[in-house]
């Protein structure tokens, strides 16, 4: 995966192993219908100004042709947050950031990427990066960095460790989310019951993970992202 950044835009091209351009096989299989909506390998979208991304409430409704009932839902888009200074392009594609070199409390985060009408978004990019259990980022390599794509039902699963604290911030995990034809969302996830949540000026309560203790020394958490699906 490569990012080309300019002052206002991030253009990203995702490739599978062996250089097969993402969506290339799908286009062959699905023919011209997909070809019109999915340009091969390109998830290029303009980054919207932060102020316009965060709190847009989108309303979509669907009317049943038989009962004439409105069955749509209204969901507020996941709030955008600052990228911070430690994002790196070209993270490895993987669902687990834990290996023998990583220490800390193992945490599994699961959830869906959903459009504003509640429709699951398949093949959405979800790119995580975070500090280690000691509060340090790996800025020379890719420890605790990785991206993945949601499955056919919009689900992602990340295995990682609970990030440590570092000066000036509460506990958090950074993430970028992008539907195949949607704008790039940059945000952060937080932990419940953290004393520093009350004093961190970036913290947003709508971004708190739902965390449960598995009772075996590991933790599980859930979070759904609501995104502009394009
Ligand atoms: Fe950070």
Is 25 in a helix, a strand, or coil? helix
Distance 208 CA to ligand 1 centre (A): 15
This prediction's pTM: 0.72
Q: Which fold has domain 4-227?
A: Protocatechuate 3,4-Dioxygenase, subunit A (2.60.130)
Centroid of ligand 1 to alpha carbon of 4 (angstroms)? 22
The alpha carbon of 61 and the centre of ligand 1 are apart by a number of angstroms equal to 37
Note the pLDDT tens digit of each residue in 167-184: 999 999 999 999 999 999
DSSP state letter for 93: B
Q: Ligand 1 mean position to 187 CA, how many Å?
A: 10
Calculate the average pLDDT of the chain.
Answer: 78
**pLDDT of amino acid 50:** 37
Cα of 190 vs centre of ligand 1, distance in Å, is: 11
The gap from C-alpha 127 to its chain's centroid, in whole angstroms, comes to 5
CA of 161 from ligand 1 middle (Å) equals 14
pLDDT at 45 over 50: no
Q: Token pair of 91, please? A: 């993270």
pLDDT digits (tens, 9 = 90+) for 135-166: 999 999 999 999 999 999 999 999 999 999 99
């Amino acid at each position: 995966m490569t990012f080309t950044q300019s002052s206002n835009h991030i253009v990203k091209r995702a490739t599978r192993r062996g250089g097969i351009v993402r969506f290339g096989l799908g286009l062959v299989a699905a023919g011209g219908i997909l070809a019109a909506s999915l340009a091969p390998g390109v998830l290029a979208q303009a980054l919207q100004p932060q102020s316009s991304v965060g709190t847009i409430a989108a309303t979509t409704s669907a009317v049943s042709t038989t009962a004439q009932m409105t069955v749509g839902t209204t969901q507020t888009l996941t709030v955008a947050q600052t990228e911070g200074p430690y994002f790196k392009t070209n993270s490895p594609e993987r669902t687990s950031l834990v290996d023998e070199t990583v220490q800390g409390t193992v945490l599994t985060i699961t959830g869906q990427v959903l459009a504003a009408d509640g429709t699951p978004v398949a093949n959405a990019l979800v790119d995580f990066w975070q500090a280690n259990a000691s509060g340090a980022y790996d800025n020379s390599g890719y420890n605790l960095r990785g991206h993945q794509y949601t499955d056919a039902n919009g689900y992602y699963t990340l295995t990682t460790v609970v990030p440590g604290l570092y000066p000036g911030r509460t506990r958090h995990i950074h993430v970028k989310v992008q539907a195949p034809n949607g704008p790039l969302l940059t945000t952060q996830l937080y932990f419940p019951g953290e004393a520093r949540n009350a004093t961190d000026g970036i913290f947003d309560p709508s971004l708190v993970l739902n965390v449960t203790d598995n009772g075996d020394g590991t933790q599980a958490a859930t979070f759904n992202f609501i995104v502009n699906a394009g």
